[in-house]
Amino acid sequence: MTAQLINGKELSAVLKQEMKGEVQELKQQGLTPHLTVVLVGENPASKSYVKGKEKAAAETGISSSLIELPESTSEAELLQIIKDLNTDESVHGILVQLPLPKQISEQQVIETIHPDKDVDGFHPSNIGKMMTGEDTFLPCTPYGIITMLKSKNIEIEGKHAVIIGRSNIVGKPVGQLLLNENATVTYCHSKTKNLKELAATADILVAAIGKAHAITADYIKNGAVVIDVGINRQADGTLTGDVDFESAKEKASYITPVPRGVGPMTITMLLKNTIKAAKGLSTIE
């Protein structure tokens, strides 16, 4: 069997086209969704992600601004900037690019962003709402993954989903969203003893470990849906996933490529969240 591709770039293009129309309508009503991105320091990967976010926003008519701060920025300085953005009515979404320099607590930063402007879906109150299944901002990568599965009408209910990786940004929330869709969810991580055996029981396998080609065909059940969240830069500068695509595609029923898989969807869902934030502005005090 050769797997069908779930192409995140193509799906993103369709979703962005839809959003462009929605943004045009909002603009006619006098509301231009606005995203403010805060970038601290010189991390090259972060700079590249932030550029991608600005470009995608512009494509859909969402306005965005970038606040670039030096690596030496103190936590107090950053928290004050966030508080000012919280009360700035022209700003609907706030995204502080992670990771942050050592002197700044990421948790403090996340908790300072107003939950109604938290387009990353990282604030504890939004995570709580996600857990109870209330309407809220969903973290962008997990939201993108669920959207990809639904775009192919892949059944989630009753399926065994195995998540490899337990980060707050991807692993934990994607497991929760799959549980919300009635999957049976197993979380695996660096201390898991029988990773290969567990992975090979998955109907839906999500790889979010950050290690190039770690997931080979032996980890994959025949006919499984394989979602590759890895973005690993190789020595030659090209990007590759956590899944060994060439061997995996012979066993999987569906597979996401890298690049053009989950990555573009993350940015697209950020735009969705920004539009949602703009529509909900009236709740901010």
Q: Which residues pair with 185 in a beta bridge?
A: 161
Site for ligand GUN in 32-91 (CB under 6 A): none
CB of 98 to ligand GUN, least distance (A): 4
Q: How many residues bind ligand GUN (CB under 6 A)?
A: 8
Contact residue for ligand GUN among 12, 36, 97, 256 (CB under 6 A): 97
Is 28 one of the annotated active-site residues of the chain? no
In 207-261, alpha helices (H): 245-248
Catalytic residue flag (residue 242): no
Pick between residue 161 and residue 229 the one whose CB is nearest to ligand GUN: 229
- Residues in contact with ligand GUN, shown as a per-residue x/- string from 144 to 183 under the rule CB under 6 A: -------------------------x--------------
Write down the least CB distance from residue 110 to ligand GUN, Å: 9
Candidate residues 50, 94, 109, 140; the one interacting with ligand GUN per rule CB under 6 A = 140
Minimum distance of ligand GUN from residue 256's CB (angstroms): 17
Exactly one of 53, 221, 249, 276 is catalytic; name it.
Answer: 53
- Counting contacts by CB under 6 A, is residue 199 touching ligand GUN? no
Helix segments in 137-261, DSSP class H: 140-151, 171-180, 195-199, 245-248
One of 26, 98, 212, 281 touching ligand GUN (CB under 6 A): 98
- Helical H segments across 97-200, by residue range: 106-112, 124-132, 140-151, 171-180, 195-199
CB of 169 to ligand GUN, least distance (A): 5
Q: CA-to-CA distance for 137 and 14, rounded, in angstroms?
A: 21
Residue whose token pair is 């892949």:
154
Cα–Cα–Cα angle for 161, 238, 264, nearest 5°? 50
218 is catalytic: no
Q: For 135, which DSSP code?
A: S
Q: Give me the least distance between CB of 263 and ligand GUN, in Å please.
A: 10
Q: Which amino acid is at 42?
A: E
Task: Measure the CA–CA gap between 281 and 276, rounded to whole angstroms.
Answer: 9
Binding-site member from 15, 56, 94, 95 for ligand GUN (CB under 6 A): 95
120 touches ligand GUN by CB under 6 A: yes
Pick between residue 110 and residue 252 the one whose CB is nearest to ligand GUN: 110
How would you classify residue 208: left for phi > 0, otherwise alpha for psi between -120 and 50, otherwise beta?
beta
257 token code pair: 């490529």
Helix (H, G, I), strand (E, B) or coil at 7: coil
- Which residue sits closest to ligand GUN, CB atoms considered? 98
From the list 16, 117, 118, 120, the catalytic residue is 120
Pick the closer one to ligand GUN by CB: 11 or 95: 95
How far apart are CB 229 and ligand GUN at their closest, in Å? 10
- Residue 124: asked if its preceding bond is cis (omega within 30°), the reply is no
In the numeric block, the tokens 């965005």 are attached to: 64
Tokens of 186: 């197993």
Opening angle at CA 272, ends 86 and 25, nearest 5: 95
Residues with a catalytic annotation lie at: 53, 97, 120
The binding site for ligand GUN (CB under 6 A) comprises: 95-98, 120, 140-141, 169
